[in-house]
Amino acid sequence: MPKKTEEKHILVCTTEEVPGYKVSEYLGMVWGTSVQARFIGQDLIAALKIVVGGEVWPYTKMMNEAKHYVIRRMVNNAKQLNADAIIGVRMESGQIVPGTTEIFAYGTAVKLKKGSK
């Protein structure tokens, strides 16, 4: 039976530096994206929340799940480059067409070495 290989861990951070490490190589930009569509049930709950107030939890849940998807996709892109980390990570969202939202995460894939600058 083949030996199981360990999944490589990729550090994901919003900073440009990783404490205790220095960037030894910049591998390029990596990203993940997802387009989410609403459904009528979410819109009905949202309409009710506009009247009575409060969090529109179906949208919150949908956006949180989408954020996890795009981070995972971005990390998979970094793994293809054999990166150790993704630095300078940013997330954005915007409407593609009415009723949809794109969530986009991006950063710079890098190789790290122990030690400071």
CATH assignment at residue 94: 3.30.110.70
Q: How far is residue 89 from each of residues 15, 26, 45, 46, 114, measured CA to CA in Å?
A: 7, 14, 32, 30, 21
- Tokens in use for 49? 């929340």
pTM as predicted: 0.79
Domain count, the chain: 1
Token pair for residue 6?
């360990």
- What are the pLDDT digits (tens) for 38-50? 665 555 555 655 6
5 inside domain: no
Q: 59-116: per-residue pLDDT in tens?
A: 788 889 999 999 999 999 999 999 999 999 999 998 888 878 899 999 999 999 998 6
Sheet holding 100-114, edge to edge: 11-12, 85-94, 100-114, 21-37
72 lies in some domain: yes
Q: Is residue 1, in this structure, part of any structural domain at all?
A: no
Range of the domain at 25: 11-112
